[in-house]
Amino acid sequence: EYNTEESEETDAVMDTENKEVTFLFYRTLWSIQDYFRNPNQISNDTNWKKMEDTVNEICRIFKNYKREGSCQVSNEAYFAKFLTSERLLTLQISDSNFRRHILVQILTLFQYLTAGVKFKPNKLVLSEPRKSWIRDTTSKIYSVLSETPPDGQSFVKHVKCILKYEEKWSKWKNEGCPSLAKLPDKTVGIKQKNLKRNVKVMDLTSEKFDMGNQTLTDLWNICPDNLAACQDSNRKFTPETYKFFEEAIEQLEPDSGVEKEYYLTNETAFMWRSLRLLARQSVPYFQHIQNTKNLTLTDNLQNIITLIGKEYKKENDMEVAS
């Protein structure tokens, strides 16, 4: 059932808020842009009073005219400028981006007024009451920003961080932009020379050697005799010549049915491994390559593989006959 009383209360609140957003506030809101453009004019007492009243009114309206609920902000880039039509003012006050745009500019103006800027006119020196007003108003602005959805608290945190970096940058500019490179500390080198280097001497009489790292220590102490470990038959990874070329020998048989383009001898990696193996175990076969210099390396390798196959078959037949 529709709640008539609650609807009337909501309408009454909206009417009250809309009454505060008058043409006078419209002129007040957009007049603040003149101080953003030229903050040095605030050195005049009259202009300072106008600026103070303008900021107070903006904070009051933004505080009373609260944004309710949550809104989703698109990640897409948007144009930072806003239309200045009076009829859009009520909608703009309800826009989180618009509120943040105005309030962050006020915070930037306050930082310029309070920071020690080198080219700021001497007249723009704030008295203690004015500094106190800026501190109080800054707290109010942060309060309004934290209550502005979405993620008000997070937005305030990022704004404070950015203004802090801006303050450091202004200080660096005021100091004449000194180099940020860190000079080497000469005392460090002197201290290092005086340090005694503690070298851990390996105990050669111990059966187990400490290599300074647990993994290296375990690997080093797998076998007490390193030379015997290197000569172990299990560490011989070189294959037998015939077993390595067995598939290639079958491919080179006339009745194998394998087309030449699919021969193993066409593969660069196989050719390289074959030559490595022949150099280790069958050096005399290289004499065959020298006698057939006009052939390509692939053709020479195929001839050698065919010759290996014939020799193995001949040896096999002789063993069977005996």
Per residue in 5-33, pLDDT (tens digit) is 443 443 444 444 556 788 899 999 999 99
pLDDT of residue 2: 32
Higher pLDDT, 24 or 210: 24
pLDDT for position 296: 85
* Average pLDDT for 228-237: 75
* Predicted confidence band of residue 163 (pLDDT cuts 50, 70, 90): very high
> Which is more confidently placed, 282 or 191?
282
Token digits for 8? 């009337």
The rounded distance, in Å, linking the Cα atoms of 301 and 243 is 16
- For residues 86 and 90, give the distance between their C-alpha atoms in angstroms, rounded to a whole number: 8
Locate 311 and state its tokens.
Answer: 């020799």
What tokens were used for 145? Answer: 């920003």
Q: What is the pLDDT of residues 40-57, one digit of tens each?
A: 888 888 999 999 999 999
Do 274 and 302 form a contact (C-beta atoms < 8 A)?
no
User: Which of 94-108, 187-201, 220-234 is predicted least confidently?
Assistant: 187-201
Tell me the average pLDDT across 307-317. Answer: 84
pLDDT for residue 48 = 92
pLDDT band of 108, cuts 50, 70, 90: very high
Mean model confidence pLDDT for the chain: 80
Structure tokens at 73: 């902000």
Q: What are phi and psi of 263, to 5 degrees?
A: -65, 145
Give the pLDDT confidence score for residue 212 in this predicted structure. Answer: 78
Q: Which residue has the tokens 């989703």?
A: 72
For residues 196-200, give the mean pLDDT.
56
Portion of the chain with pLDDT greater than 90, in percent: 23
Mean pLDDT in residue range 198-218: 70
CA–CA gap between residue 85 and residue 134 (Å, rounded): 30
pLDDT tens, position by position, 253-310: 888 888 888 898 899 999 999 888 888 877 777 776 666 667 788 888 888 888 888 8
* Predicted pLDDT of residue 10: 39
pLDDT at 316 over 70: yes
Cα separation, 202 vs 215, whole angstroms = 17
What pLDDT, in 10s, does the model give residues 109-143?
999 888 877 777 777 788 899 999 999 999 999 99
